């Protein structure tokens, strides 16, 4: 990124100001990036643990496959998934508060005796599945924010800060050269005036 500037004091002051802003902001952005990196790892670990827990739970109920054929799937459904918002390193992230289920009516006398247990099992499996999917989405959101923050860190560290430092150096050298030329010109004029005065 080429930084536009002019060879004067105003431009030098503006560049110094921009450089200070970026140098001051860089540690904060780096901290944000590392915090987001940790949160992504936590969300990923949690999603994997929940996925494994779901697989183990489903495997545990495999012996009951024949019974599930009799289970009325319309007895239970997910009504609502309640979320709230929390900020992690300045990024708004949803937090899973609860999963609400609604139960259909069934006859305790005409339904299989294990229907109530079946409802509890389905609730448990659905809750684990929803939580697992939630953490996968949370991980994706956090990872997107982390990538954006990493891009900003790289932009500041590798492009803008060196660019501003280079531009400031160029302006200072130009102004020093101008000052030296001005002094040299004044000295030449002064020497000529002295020679002319001596000749008179």
Domain CATH number, residue 127? 1.10.287.3240
**For residue 85, what are the β-bridge partners?**
94
Whether 23 maps to a domain, the answer reads yes
Whether 199 maps to a domain, the answer reads no
Whether 200 maps to a domain, the answer reads no
Strand segments, DSSP code E, in the chain are 76-88, 91-103
Gyration radius (Cα) of the chain, Å: 35
The whole-model pTM stands at: 0.73
Whether 101 maps to a domain, the answer reads yes
Whether 59 maps to a domain, the answer reads yes
Domain count, the chain: 1
Whether 1 maps to a domain, the answer reads no
Q: Give me the tens of pLDDT residue by residue for the chain, a chain 200 residues long.
A: 578 888 888 989 999 999 999 999 999 999 999 999 999 999 999 999 999 998 888 887 777 766 666 777 778 888 888 989 888 888 888 888 888 988 888 777 777 677 777 788 888 888 998 999 889 988 999 999 999 999 999 999 999 999 999 999 999 999 998 888 888 888 898 888 888 888 77
Whether 95 maps to a domain, the answer reads yes
Decide: 50 and 38 in contact? Cβ < 8 Å.
Answer: no
Q: Domain span at residue 25?
A: 9-193
Whether 4 maps to a domain, the answer reads no
Residue 36, burial from CB neighbour count under 10 angstroms (0-12, 13-18, 19+): buried
């Amino acid at each position: 990124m080429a930084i536009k500037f002019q060879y004067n004091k105003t431009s030098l002051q503006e560049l110094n100001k921009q450089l200070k802003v970026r140098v001051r902001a860089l540690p904060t952005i780096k901290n944000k990036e590392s915090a987001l990196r940790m949160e992504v790892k936590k969300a990923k670990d949690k999603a994997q643990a929940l996925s494994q827990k779901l697989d183990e739970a489903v495997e545990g109920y495999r012996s009951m496959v024949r019974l599930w054929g009799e289970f009325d799937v319309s007895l239970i459904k997910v009504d609502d998934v309640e979320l709230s918002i929390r900020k992690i390193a300045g990024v708004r992230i949803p937090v899973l508060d609860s999963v609400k289920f609604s139960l259909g009516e069934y006859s305790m006398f005409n339904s299989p005796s294990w229907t109530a247990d079946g409802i509890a099992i389905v609730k448990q499996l659905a809750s684990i599945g929803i939580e697992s999917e939630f953490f996968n989405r949370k991980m994706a959101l956090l990872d997107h924010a982390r990538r954006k923050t990493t891009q900003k860190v790289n932009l500041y560290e590798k492009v803008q800060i060196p660019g501003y430092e280079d531009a400031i150096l160029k302006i200072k050298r130009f102004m020093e050269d101008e000052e030296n030329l001005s002094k040299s010109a004044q000295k030449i004029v002064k020497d000529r005036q002295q020679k002319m005065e001596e000749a008179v």
